[in-house]
Amino acid sequence: MSSHRKSTSVYNELRLEGKLCDAIIKVDEVEFQIHKIILCNCSPYFRALFTRWSTEDRKVFSVSNLSSQMMDVIIQFAYTGSVMVTEDNVQDLLLAADMFSVMDVVQICSNFLSEQLCPEKCVGIWQFTKICLCPELQHKAYSYIIHHFREVVNQDKFLQLSMQELTDILDSDDLNVKQESTVFEAVVRWISHLPEEREGHIPVLLSKVRLALSSEEYIRNTVMANKLVRKNKECLEIASVAIQAISQIVTNSPLETDLSYRLARPRLPDALLLATGGWSGVNPSDDIEVYDIRTDCWINITNNLMHPRAYHGAVFLNEYVYCVGGFNGVEHFNTVHRFDLCTHTWHEAGPMHSRRCYVSVTVLDGCIYAMGGFDGQTRLSTAERYRPETNQWTLIAPMQEQRSDASCTTLHNKIYICGGFNGNECLETAEFYNPETNQWTMITPMNSRRSGIGVIAYADHVYAVGGFDGNNRLQSAEAYNAHTNAWHTVSSMLTPRSNFGIEVIDDLLFVVGGFNGATTTYNVEYYDVTMNVWFEACRMEIFRSALSCCVVPRLPNRTDYTLPRDSLTLIHLDEEEEDEEEPVDDI
């Protein structure tokens, strides 16, 4: 037993025996004998009470607005440094700790409630933080509501929000909704809970729904047909302004009123898609572009501090974007650089054991995995793992096949790697790595040979998209069911491509850039599994292949990487076609 624990045990024994006590705290006729110095040590409130707000010879102190049970818990913590927090006592305990400025207990309770955040409880926790001083917990609870709004609106607690609270939430650019119909339906549900009290709030709440981001058909057939809107002239005017704003956006006309601007103001994306490096023309690139799915546009954030590279891997981990391996036309890299999105600066991380271009990279359980690739002489089967806390790479079991120009992803706590090139032929084989056993296991081969493939976990499947089969760039795509160990074909992409970026954002699978068999491309498309259909998205500014993409979720300073909402052009018009660059054969 440490000397500190021994001394606290002695103090508590003396308290329980009533020995050497110099004060009594009285709560609800219950008396607690205590030592003033012990409570002074854990709380500035008690220090002020005993030394500044009373005379030295005062012995009895009455406390109101608190139960004797909570007083007992606070005193026990002062003597033992430990406290038992439960769902039943956490709110009363937090109020008591806040009242007495026992900040250690405040933090313990705040941490407990943070772990309790879920769609059912987040509103209640957020409202509770307005009673006690817990700014960090209040921010976490509010952020949870904002980020999980689609789930929160279906909970009973959502209906208990005040008018002002709901208005503040709906007015936020951070509100994470794919479609403004979610917001309108939330307003209707909230009002319908207490219609007599709340119907008068419909004009204010409707003005917070960004109706001009929806369709004219939705506004006419759903919004204006709703009885709450239909019988309110102010609401009908808001809907009409939204329809007019949609027309102005389509014709690229300026928005005429502040209301029309507010109804058409895009919200901020919950996550950003980054496209890094690659071949552009005949040179490796250091360009970084960011895709904002809420405005369907790309922004170039290149700061010329990244080392130009292609055929590398990019992943996001612990607030950093890591660029792993790659090739600059001269050197095959084993180096790793990471980008700090908050400071906009690059830093070098620990190097890999092997030089790896055409490398496959993914993240699992807080570690970065780099597999296969080409070191300038040999196609590799080796693999290694990076732990950011040690800034070191360690070798793991090698794959069962040599693979460069493959692609990998994580699903069900395993790493799946598919396709690639072994030095002789393009591969249709695939295998997975189990970190618990440090073993690779072959799975059913794909239906097509695919080098320069894109592989991503999506809708509980492993998707294998595009690539090069040794003769042609592919449009086809297929999905692997890990439960049945079987592949099935899905809709083909709109254009063939190899050596492209691939990621999932907003429950949609995006493919970015690449080589189409004739030229590098800046075209982007996405796949919606619910429809089994591919759609065009806004193209990048830069033609490039051999790039790598990653998704950055919930970046605190994401306004640094999106178009300013206060001066945003609300429509992306395709620029005139640019002259295509010279073809770059990247196999």
Whole-number pLDDT of residue 133 = 81
Whole-number pLDDT of residue 239 = 97
Over residues 214-230, the mean pLDDT reads 97
Over residues 327-356, the mean pLDDT reads 96
Angle between helices 90-100 and 103-116 (to 10 degrees): 150
Q: What are the b/e assignments for 552-576, b being 16+ CB within 10 Å?
A: beebeebeebbbebeebebeeeeee
| Contact yes or no for 408/455 (Cβ under 8 A) | yes
Whole-number pLDDT of residue 9 = 79
Structural domain boundaries in the chain:
3-142, 161-263, 273-567
CA angle in degrees (0–180, nearest 5) for 575-580-584: 140
Residue 568's pLDDT band (boundaries 50, 70, 90)? low
Whole-number pLDDT of residue 101 = 94
* Location of structure tokens 């007083």: 71
Residue 256's pLDDT band (boundaries 50, 70, 90)? confident
CA–CA gap between residue 372 and residue 408 (Å, rounded): 10
In this prediction, what percent of the chain has a pLDDT beyond 70? 95
Determine whether domain 161-263 maps to CATH 1.25.40.420.
yes
Whole-number pLDDT of residue 573 = 32
Over residues 85-91, the mean pLDDT reads 95
CATH topology of domain 3-142: Potassium Channel Kv1.1; Chain A (3.30.710)
As a CATH number, domain 273-567 is 2.120.10.80
Sign of CA dihedral 330, 336, 338, 344: negative
Please list the residues that pair with 297 across neighbouring strands.
292
| Contact yes or no for 453/467 (Cβ under 8 A) | yes
What's the whole-number average pLDDT of the chain? 93
Residue 497: pLDDT over 60: yes
Q: E strands of 216-312, at which residues?
A: 271-276, 279-280, 283-284, 288-292, 297-300
Over residues 511-536, the mean pLDDT reads 97
Residue 567's pLDDT band (boundaries 50, 70, 90)? low
Over residues 364-389, the mean pLDDT reads 98
Residue 174: pLDDT over 90: yes
Over residues 135-142, the mean pLDDT reads 96
Residue 572's pLDDT band (boundaries 50, 70, 90)? very low
pTM tops 0.75, yes or no: yes
Beta-carbon contacts of 91 under 8 Å, excluding residues fewer than 6 positions away, are 128
Residue 1: pLDDT over 80: no
Return the minimum-mean-pLDDT range out of 68-82, 112-126, 296-310.
Answer: 296-310
For residue 397, give the DSSP letter.
P
| Residue 465: closest CA among 492, 504, 442 | 492
Residue 199: pLDDT over 60: yes
